[in-house]
């Protein structure tokens, strides 16, 4: 899918101290992704250099707010014009451009295993260990991330990630998104907590909206594959219905292809997943299959 094209809404030349500056306002209609979403971008260009850039979008402003995105960016345009006319040198020095950023290209691991349980030595840790070991047997690098160990702020639904492709919060989630971006296989290990995923995993899922925004803005999609390994205390596969729904939505949102799931129930009675016949074999077989299909 291609990145959404920008449409020029207005353009104005400002002459200050012998130089011409062009104020260009553009809009991107993201209505196919979110009804009514428009991203507005204001740039000031001197020659071939972009000396200032500001973005805002319609979803940033709640319905009850009197502020609207187009009015905000038009007001900013007027402010910048006056500042240029007054003192262009000071204006240029004061600007910090916010461009669309993709995750840093820092090599991480081919397999990312997300351990969503807050219990460091629980059944999900066993699942994560089996998955990591099987990747190692195939000479594929794998990393296990223990979410509960990481200070990650919850998404506040500000939608500012659609302006730059990055979140306004700078915390451990930056590294997780980098790892997701670099990995070819994503494995989610999670217990069932009150018929859904644990809080730390849900926070991570919500914060991946910034990665989704980056994909929307750049038009780039991933060819990653995803696995789900889950445990439930109660007996019955119906206990996993919400888990499946949440993880499927997560993978779909950032264009990961679901490539299998293993759901182990009745752990309140069984206690230790290592006591379940064939559990380890099933996990290792699922990993072998997705590792063999990694390039397809």
Mean pLDDT of the 274-285 span? 95
Same domain, 274 and 225: yes
Residue 76: other Cβ atoms inside 10 A: 17
Average pLDDT of span 155-169: 94
Confidence class for position 295, pLDDT limits 50, 70, 90 = confident
Band of pLDDT at residue 140, cut at 50, 70 and 90:
very high
Question: Which residue range is the domain that position 220 belongs to?
Answer: 111-292
Residues 141 and 14 in one domain: no
Q: Assess whether 127 and 211 both reside in one domain.
A: yes
Cβ atoms of 192 and 243 within 8 Å: the answer is yes
Nearest Cα residue to 103 out of 49, 150, 161 = 161
Same domain (yes/no): 197, 257 = yes
pLDDT, tens digit, 9 for 90 and up, residues 56-73: 999 999 999 999 999 999
Element (H, E) at 32: none
Residue after which a domain boundary falls, among 69, 94, 119: 94
Q: Are 44 and 186 in a shared domain?
A: no
**Residues 6 or more apart whose Cβ sits within 8 Å of residue 259:** 225, 226, 227, 289, 290, 293
Handedness of CA 284, 182, 173, 212 (dihedral sign): negative
Q: Are residues 160 and 264 in the same domain?
A: yes
The answer on 117 and 33 residing in a single domain is no
pLDDT of 102-137, one tens digit each?
Answer: 555 555 789 999 999 999 889 999 999 999 999 999
DSSP of 208-237: THHHHHHHHHH-----EEEEEEEE-SSSSG
Residue 161 belongs to domain with CATH number: 3.40.50.360
Residues in the chain: 296
Regarding whether 161 and 132 lie in a shared domain, the answer is yes
Q: What is the mean pLDDT of the chain?
A: 91
User: 205 pLDDT band (50/70/90 cuts)?
Assistant: very high
167 and 219 in a common domain = yes
**What average pLDDT does this structure show over 86-113?**
73
What's residue 103's pLDDT? 53
Q: What value does the mean pLDDT take over residues 210-222?
A: 87
Give the C-alpha separation, 225 to 258, whole Å: 6
Count of CB atoms within 10 A of residue 164's CB? 18
Q: Is residue 100 part of a domain?
A: no
Domain assignment of residue 214, yes or no: yes
pTM for the whole structure: 0.85
- 26-40, 91-105, 225-239, 263-277: range with lowest mean pLDDT: 91-105
Is the predicted pLDDT of residue 98 greater than 70, yes or no? no
> Do residue 164 and residue 287 come from a single domain?
yes
Per-residue pLDDT, averaged over 217-226, amounts to: 85
8 A C-beta contact, residue 237 and residue 257: no
Calpha distance 246→252 (Å, rounded): 10
Residue 106: the pLDDT is 52
Q: What contacts 214, CB < 8 A, 6 or more positions away? A: 100, 101, 102, 103, 161, 165, 166, 220
How many domains is the chain built from? 2
* Dist. CA 240–CA 89, nearest whole Å: 61
Query: What pLDDT is stored for residue 1 in this prediction?
Result: 52
Please indicate, yes or no, whether residues 115 and 89 belong to a single structural domain of this protein.
Answer: no
Average pLDDT of the segment spanning 244-250: 97
Residue 166, pLDDT above cutoff 70: yes
If you average pLDDT over residues 14-19, what whole number do you get?
Answer: 90
CB 111 within 8 A of CB 135: yes
Residues 65 and 125 in one domain: no
> Does 2 fall in a domain?
no
Would residue 102 count as lying in a domain? no
pLDDT reported for residue 218: 86
51 lies in some domain: yes
**Segments in 87-122 forming alpha helices (H):** 88-94
Reply yes or no on whether the pLDDT at 225 is more than 90.
yes
Domain annotation covers residue 262: yes
């Amino acid at each position: 899918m291609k990145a959404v094209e920008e449409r020029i809404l207005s353009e104005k030349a400002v002459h200050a101290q012998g130089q011409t500056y062009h104020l260009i306002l553009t809009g991107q209609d993201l209505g196919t992704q979110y009804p009514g979403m428009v991203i507005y971008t204001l740039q000031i260009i001197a020659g071939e250099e972009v000396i200032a850039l500001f973005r805002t979008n319609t979803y940033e402003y709640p319905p009850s707010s009197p502020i609207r995105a187009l009015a905000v960016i038009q007001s900013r345009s007027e402010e910048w014009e006056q500042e240029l006319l007054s003192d262009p040198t000071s204006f240029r020095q004061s600007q910090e451009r916010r461009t669309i950023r993709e995750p840093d290209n820092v090599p991480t691991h081919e397999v990312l295993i997300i351990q969503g349980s807050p219990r460091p030595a629980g059944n999900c840790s066993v699942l994560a260990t089996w998955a990591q070991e099987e990747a190692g047997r195939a000479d594929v690098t794998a990393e296990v991330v223990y979410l509960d160990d990481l200070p990650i702020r919850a998404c506040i639904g500000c939608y500012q990630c659609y302006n730059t492709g990055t979140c306004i919060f700078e915390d451990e989630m930056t590294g997780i998104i980098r790892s997701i971006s670099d990995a070819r296989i994503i494995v989610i290990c999670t217990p069932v907590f009150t018929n859904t995923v644990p809080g730390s995993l849900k926070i991570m899922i919500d914060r991946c909206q910034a990665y989704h925004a980056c994909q929307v803005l750049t038009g780039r999609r991933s060819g990653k594959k995803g696995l789900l390994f889950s445990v439930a205390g109660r007996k019955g596969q119906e206990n996993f219905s919400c888990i499946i729904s949440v993880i499927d939505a997560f993978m779909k949102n950032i264009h990961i292809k679901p490539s299998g799931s293993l759901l182990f129930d009745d752990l309140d009675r069984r206690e230790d997943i290592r006591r379940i016949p064939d559990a380890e074999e099933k996990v290792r077989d699922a990993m072998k299959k997705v590792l063999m299909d990694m390039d397809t």
